[in-house]
């Protein structure tokens, strides 16, 4: 899934409704590798695990974007 497709679909949703993204979708949205997302997770990227035995990772795009903004602001003030 191309990041522009995902962004367009998210923009079409009613206000207040944002889907939780799979790791692969997060990679596509930001145009980064699996390794990069793993590094983000180690650095504290917000995520959720689905209920049940598998506990699959899901990402709230708005929370990830806020986290990235906070990182950027911290780097600028340092």
Q: Look at 75 and 61; give whichever has higher pLDDT.
A: 61
pLDDT at residue 52, rounded to an integer: 81
- Coil vs helix vs strand at 60: strand
Nearest residue to 23 (alpha-carbon basis) of 5, 50, 4: 50
Give all domains of the chain, ordered by start, each with its CATH number.
3-77 (1.10.10)
pLDDT at residue 1, rounded to an integer: 44
pLDDT at residue 43, rounded to an integer: 96
pLDDT at residue 51, rounded to an integer: 83
pLDDT digits (tens, 9 = 90+) for 7-41: 555 556 566 666 789 999 999 999 999 999 999 99
pLDDT at residue 9, rounded to an integer: 57
């Amino acid at each position: 899934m191309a990041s522009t497709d995902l962004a367009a679909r998210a923009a079409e949703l009613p206000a207040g409704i944002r889907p939780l993204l799979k790791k692969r979708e997060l990679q596509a949205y930001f145009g980064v590798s699996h390794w990069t997302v793993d590094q983000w997770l180690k650095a504290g990227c917000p995520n959720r695990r689905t209920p049940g035995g598998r506990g699959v990772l899901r990402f709230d795009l708005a929370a990830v974007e806020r986290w990235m903004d906070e990182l950027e602001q911290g780097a600028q003030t340092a």
